[in-house]
Amino acid sequence: MLKSTGFARNGDKANSDFFETYLQRLLEARDRSGLTAMIGRIEALMITVEPGNSIEYIAELALMTPYHYLVTLDSPRHLTHILRIDMNSPDILLREVKNPDYYDIFRNLNDLHPSGSKRPHSRYLGEVLRVSDRKAVLELQQAREFRFFSPDALEKLDLPTNVSISKPSPYTQNVIGYIERAVDEVRVYHPLGKCSILPRVQDAYQMAKELQKKLNIGDLILPIDHLATRVYSQNREAALLEYLALSSYYYWGSYDIHDQNSSTNVCKSVRPLAESESPAKVFTANNLPYCVNHLDGLPSPTENFVRNYGARLHHIALSIKDGERDGRENIEFVVDAIASQGKDFLLEVVGSREEGLKQIFSAASPFSALIIEYVQRYGDFQGFFTRENVALLTEAAGIEESFAGKLL
């Protein structure tokens, strides 16, 4: 039996007694129920963008990531583009809303927030996890009070009906999907309408991939390393427990980022999978809620982000191959090449070989509002950040966001 407890704990952020007690109970119950054994890796990420924005976003992703355009599924209210690296890493289901006046629950979540409502359709929806028995997992989770969209509702939302999808989390506003796939079976999403390769999408993708090749960076950008979600201060522990109840991840640990009044909290797969196969899940939360901020006057970029956009995915981090090219560290080489094409980064590359890793944040995508992080690790460094790096990255994202907020 897979065991979700007993992993070494990292970090220095103290949790409440409630969290520690229920974490242990939750993971033990999950193992006993068979859910840990039935739920596997992250198979896909789902992102929605505004009408007319998906082609440019695919070109951006084709340049900045290893993703390839595979095919488009045309359903009544959305075009769903399937982006893939290979079967060893998660797909991206990139959904473009067809009609700007379209309303659904995901748009409602955006409309509630001042910055989120400026791009009303654009948001990261959540992850699809691979399961060995979808019906059994769904029944067990529903018996544990987790709520799911009905098949009819999924059809109306143009979401794949061979995936069971939870209602948005009250803590992260993300969903979790479950898809069943046999060993060696290809991933399919159905029905989602007519399936074809759209020439205008293929052309934009190919141009961007050729540019990536010309810049000599294609082999240096590796699959996704982690997905970082921002939540309200008071929801940090509940968001972690909820994700652990719905997945087969374990709690890796939390770091207090005192300078930015926040913490970084990490969950990883209980299976011995590389992050490239099933990315780590990171949750970031302010240490103190905004309502007491006037007393201490501490920086609060994480809480500000959540108030402006709602709880949601903040960045997708991709690994950079360790090494050097043309006398520069690979991460510097990649960033310089991409910056030369007019893409902005929020700060210089931070970190060092001695600290174990280097990191950088891109500017938020104008299409998805998501930031791309690049991370290059040295030797066998296993961490996701250094405290100083996270403080600098969080600060830079906060400055950009408050600046963007003023422009809106």
The footprint of Fe ion (CB under 5 A) covers 228, 317, 373
Contact 175, 165 (CB under 8 A): yes
Contact 132, 181 (CB under 8 A): no
State which residue, 245 or 257, has the beta carbon closest to Fe ion: 257
Give the full edge-to-edge strand order of the sheet including 39-49. 163-165, 175-180, 123-131, 39-49, 91-97, 78-84, 68-74, 194-196
**Per residue, what are the HEC states of 51-92?**
CCCHHHHHHHHHHHCCCEEEEEEECCCEEEEEEECCCCCCEE
State which residue, 4 or 265, has the beta carbon closest to Fe ion: 265
State which residue, 175 or 228, has the beta carbon closest to Fe ion: 228
State which residue, 204 or 317, has the beta carbon closest to Fe ion: 317
For the CB of residue 365, give the shortest distance to Fe ion in the complex, in Å. Answer: 15
**In whole angstroms, what is the distance from residue 275 CA to residue 318 CA?**
10
For the CB of residue 198, give the shortest distance to Fe ion in the complex, in Å. Answer: 32
State which residue, 128 or 317, has the beta carbon closest to Fe ion: 317
For the CB of residue 89, give the shortest distance to Fe ion in the complex, in Å. Answer: 17
Contact 279, 227 (CB under 8 A): yes
For the CB of residue 317, give the shortest distance to Fe ion in the complex, in Å. Answer: 4
For the CB of residue 338, give the shortest distance to Fe ion in the complex, in Å. Answer: 17
State which residue, 106 or 374, has the beta carbon closest to Fe ion: 374
State which residue, 148 or 385, has the beta carbon closest to Fe ion: 385
For the CB of residue 192, give the shortest distance to Fe ion in the complex, in Å. Answer: 31
For the CB of residue 44, give the shortest distance to Fe ion in the complex, in Å. Answer: 20
